[in-house]
Amino acid sequence: MEIKDPFWGLFSSVNNKCLTIYKEWCRVKVSKEFHRIGCNSVHYPIRKEEVFMMKELKPIKEGKVREIYDNGDSLIMVATDRISCFDVILHNTVTKKGTVLTQMSKFWFDYTKDILPNHMISTDVKDMPEFFQTPEYEGKSMMCRKLNMLPLECIVRGYITGSGWKSYKENGTVCGIKLPEGLKESDKLPEPIFTPSTKAEIGDHDENISYEQSIDHLEKHFPGKGKEYATKLRDYTIALYKKCADYALSKGIIIADTKFEFGLDEEGNIVLGDEMLTPDSSRFWPAEGYEPGHSQPSFDKQFARDWLTSHPGNDWTLPEEIVQKTIDKYLQSYKMLTGKEL
């Protein structure tokens, strides 16, 4: 039967979860409610009044890897399969990466809620608008509380590596913090150090600042609260790192460094937001074989960073072999930390 109205097109597939309608120019998903139509044929005409079309949602904000959707009194945060290195979004996608990021964050949020509250409400897409109840978003999406985000990336370093090692070699300090003489690359620090940075827009680079500068930075945005917020962020950051680093080490992973982001709830309380201790936001090293004096093998995107550094003129594109090795590392770290497979 030919459909006169081209806006509605034909059913192309039927299954237990949804019906897919093809328009002339795009595909849309239809609610589980319409199984009552009970068609078995591949092409089955429907009438407008029989179909509820899901509203297509657009993100209100897109980061290097994440997309944020407004859900009224909450937000939906989706971790995509994009990958960024050196603050640049690469041309590759890494299958299952978004799932690892979301599920690992969920694990750590649950593990650290005794230290301070976090923004996670649910990772079950059944709790979310129907738009997210598809394989494309399942496992990658997190419903979150709305927060007034504080404009700092709260970086904590337990080992000296990366830009910290570079700075130490130049003047014996990291973000203004004087460190003991004689440290070797990848050495464990006597105590974790708090080295915040400003948050940059896409295309710009974050700027490392000292704790004292973070007070001034926060004061500009929250007059009268700069020192209070900076102190709390530093203390929360180090407390979270210590608890999680001890746990990870018991599972065979060294967390060399990581970053956290925080916001304020409606009552002005500081709440942990964004992602937590993922391979994107952290350096994970295998404890087995750890030896200071050189760079370490890793479970995170350092593998991709190293390839980009050693291949100038790469056009920010990884070979497929490097993409596969990267996701294999992500999945391995998730299994070691949680005991589960994705």
User: Taking a C-beta distance cutoff of 8 angstroms, is the pair 152, 127 a contact?
Assistant: no
Beta bridge partners of 93: 82
At residue 242, the pLDDT reads 98
- Whole-number pLDDT of residue 17: 34
- Say how far apart CA 71 and CA 131 lie, in whole Å: 11
Which domains occur in the chain, in start order? Answer: 10-50 (no CATH), 61-145 (3.30.200.20)
**Could you tell me what percentage of the chain is helix, strand and coil, using 3-state DSSP and rounding each to the nearest 5?**
30, 25, 45
CA–CA separation, 15 and 295 (whole Å): 50
- Position 136, amino acid: E
Most confident by average pLDDT, 19-23, 273-277, 325-329: 273-277
What 3-state DSSP class applies to 235?
helix
Task: Grade residue 201 by pLDDT with cuts at 50, 70 and 90.
Answer: low
Instruction: Please say if the pLDDT value at position 320 is more than 70.
Output: yes
Least confident of 16-20, 95-99, 114-118: 16-20
User: What's the rounded Cα separation, in Å, for the pair 1 and 246?
Assistant: 66
Q: Mean of the per-residue pLDDT values for the chain?
A: 85
- Residue 207, pLDDT score: 84
Mean pLDDT of 159-167: 94
The least confident of 51-55, 308-312, 327-331 is 51-55
What confidence tier does 255 reach under pLDDT thresholds 50, 70, 90? very high
Between CA 112 and CA 115 the distance in angstroms is 6
- Contact at 8 Å (CB) between 239 and 115? yes
* pLDDT, average across residues 163-191: 95
Mean pLDDT, range 3-15, rounded to an integer: 35
CB 52 within 8 A of CB 34: yes
Poorest-pLDDT segment among 160-169, 202-211, 288-297 = 202-211
Confidence class for position 2, pLDDT limits 50, 70, 90: very low
Token reading at 302? 């350092």
Given pLDDT bands bounded at 50, 70 and 90, which one contains residue 200?
Answer: low
